[in-house]
């Protein structure tokens, strides 16, 4: 009885987390798909770490599109490392800032 209740509570929580992640992903992935290549082109020379951000984002986006419940733990961990936990550089435009904010929102929803 206890095991069933704990299991069903865990499954319910995971489904709720998955729903939250799916909602965030549906909102931010189309925007990120447009913004990431542009930011890479504009800021990549002065912020070479963004080339890695683009590569990781592309991998993450592909996994999300191909799976109902994607495992993007590695990509998100590497994004946090590469971006110093999504710290926004002082010399970038609002689009660059928006990319980091949306990636953080996506990461937070995935880990919720």
66-to-4, 43, 63, 69 alpha-carbon distances in Å: 31, 29, 5, 9
Whether residue 57 contacts residue 36, with contact meaning beta carbons closer than 8 Å, is answered with yes
Q: Summarize pLDDT for 45-61 with one digit per residue, the tens.
A: 999 999 999 999 999 99
Total structural domains within the chain: 1
Structural domain includes residue 76: yes
Structural domain includes residue 97: yes
Structural domain includes residue 6: no
Which pTM was predicted? 0.85
Tens place of pLDDT per residue across the chain (112 aa): 444 444 334 444 455 688 999 999 999 999 999 999 999 999 999 999 999 999 999 999 999 999 988 999 999 999 999 999 999 999 999 999 999 999 999 999 998 7
Domain that holds residue 104: 29-111
93-to-35, 45, 86, 102 alpha-carbon distances in Å: 12, 14, 15, 15
Structural domain includes residue 12: no
């Amino acid at each position: 009885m206890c095991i069933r209740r704990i299991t069903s509570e865990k499954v319910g929580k995971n489904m709720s987390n998955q729903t939250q992640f799916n909602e965030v992903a549906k909102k931010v992935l189309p925007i990120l798909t447009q913004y990431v290549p542009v930011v890479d082109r504009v800021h990549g020379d002065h912020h070479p770490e963004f080339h890695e951000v683009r590569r990781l984002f592309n991998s993450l986006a592909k996994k999300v599109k191909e799976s109902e419940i994607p495992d993007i733990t590695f990509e998100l961990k590497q994004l946090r490392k590469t971006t110093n936990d999504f710290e926004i550089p002082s010399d970038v435009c609002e689009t660059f800032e928006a990319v980091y904010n949306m990636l953080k929102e996506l990461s937070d929803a995935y880990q919720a």
